[in-house]
Structure 1
């Protein structure tokens, strides 16, 4: 198979453009991300961090240099999608990767989830109009799970589910100690309202009346710094409102930590049967955390299961074959 030259752009979410590019490069392809979304997380692997103006100046060169355009988060080379007719004219392969808040229709999200916070999503009409513009030219999409799938399935001819990818060589498991007297609980919200931070910390305060543990909330730190802090943690609480799990859950499991997150009841069967996440919503979180504080052996066992789960379902080395298959059939 001849190498494919793959463009990723223009919004880096959870390091995915860089991680997927790295796996594609390992397979002999050329892959590079152009990122116009800059945050304190500071992703830089396989990325050209660029502003819209400089990206515009590079349009011609980009159009000439790449065979396949893998777009992310409902963004393309031009904010108004005026690049899509030209890409189509040149017979370039294209696919759109949606990540959640870019397509989470407010009313639809609430239908199966009494807890969800959709403040970060654009208005329904804006999402709808954007999807119509994109799908006039791009006929297939990728999503990370079936929570996101529902929002876009009626817009595209085909929607592929490709789980969040991570590069496991950066994650050495450090399972919780069963003899630790003061366990450390961690929560790292990129968006506190979306993740349910206020409710999580209310539960933490209640538990502190009966239990001896440390609690750490991590915010506005680079991705590298955060990973170093995770190592000594015993319990990680990710998101308890959304109805699915995110990158924090995946990285935490890779590090061998037990994870609490809310998986919507109607979505549970879509995940592999051995998903080791402790399914926790605002109503049962106190009970779930209490159980883990009472059972250090269970914490360690969940940590081991989490690592195995990520090796099977989230390793970029595993997922890249699925991704290449998607590309070849576009």
Structure 2
């Protein structure tokens, strides 16, 4: 099978999923029009919207299945979807969060939710309406995103974030380290809740000896090298679910502090090894990790096992191929 991924690379997922599909004997490639300092490049064609629009006919003929991401397709007004549908090619849309996080809806179960990165509600609704005229099934990473799109599609599949573990050798926190290192890496400080994180950090400095580093605007390879040095990683404490930073941190054997909405905890696999913290509790949760080096090590080991069983690309791709097969049966 020949699989097209496009057109917005979020958290390296187009490339990772394509590499896993290639390992399974398929041809898969991502076409990315979103370029950032993170510098994703594996199994990707980094291009622009003009190239895709001009070459859409060739690409439609070349590929069997179109796996779109972040509510984007080859054409800005989704005009390619009618052409793909006419060719009877399979399509699915993969939503990642800010592309569909309706503002008021996000606040219903989460008073901390930040939606400043999402377009206006009317824009998201219009895009979803245009997409679902031709695409009947979607993928989301978790049930936080699921709620925003469930009423637009005939079927929505939940597929965990994928990670290539060959690039992540665990380096568990040492119980003997006297001055632990806390890292926080906000791609968007407002979305991650950085002001609340750093307010807690400043307060903790009055009682504990540790080093704190805030990592910003570095490419992905450089960031991973820094994560390996950490003893505690604080990720996003507003969204209500975890993202790629949490997955990569757990893969490296690090304890992770992230906010998981109470109503969503049961939707994840049992014994999710994340220290659950929101702006009101982040001080206390980081403090318990500072006070307990054995807990840091234990959570690091649990996190690595969790990623191996839930987020390893070889585990995820089997679920993805099952989703693809269901699309073929349902259309």
Q: TM-score range by the shorter chain?
A: over 0.9
Aligned mates of 2:156, 2:25 — CA distance in 1 = 26
Look up the match of 2:129: 132
Aligned mates of 1:54, 1:155 — CA distance in 2 = 29
- 1:270-325: CA deviations, max 9, x gaps? 01121000000010111000000000000000000000000000000001111001
Does residue 1:293 correspond to 2:290, yes or no?
yes
Q: CA deviation at 1:54?
A: 1.7
Give the alignment's Cα RMSD to 1 decimal.
0.5
TM, length-normalised to structure 1: 0.99
Aligned mates of 1:317, 1:159 — CA distance in 2 = 21
Look up the match of 1:66: 63
Aligned mates of 1:204, 1:297 — CA distance in 2 = 21
Unaligned stretches of 5+ in structure 1?
none
Q: Secondary structure at the match of 1:91?
A: coil
Segments ≥4 residues shifted beyond 4 Å: none
Q: CA deviation at 1:19?
A: 0.1
Does residue 1:242 correspond to 2:239, yes or no?
yes
Unaligned stretches of 5+ in structure 2?
none
Look up the match of 2:226: 229
Aligned mates of 1:117, 1:322 — CA distance in 2 = 30
Look up the match of 1:12: 9
Q: CA deviation at 1:196?
A: 0.2
TM, length-normalised to structure 2: 0.98
Q: CA deviation at 1:57?
A: 2.2
Q: Secondary structure at the match of 2:182?
A: strand
Which residue, out of 38, 49, 56, partners 1:52?
49
- 1:19-77: CA deviations, max 9, x gaps? 00000000000000000000000000000000111222221221111000000000001
Does residue 1:36 correspond to 2:33, yes or no?
yes
Q: Secondary structure at the match of 1:236?
A: strand
Look up the match of 2:252: 255
Look up the match of 1:108: 105
* Pairing 1:1-330 to 2, within 5 Å after superposition: 4-330=1-327
Aligned mates of 1:158, 1:56 — CA distance in 2 = 28
- May I ask how many residue pairs the two structures share in their alignment? 327
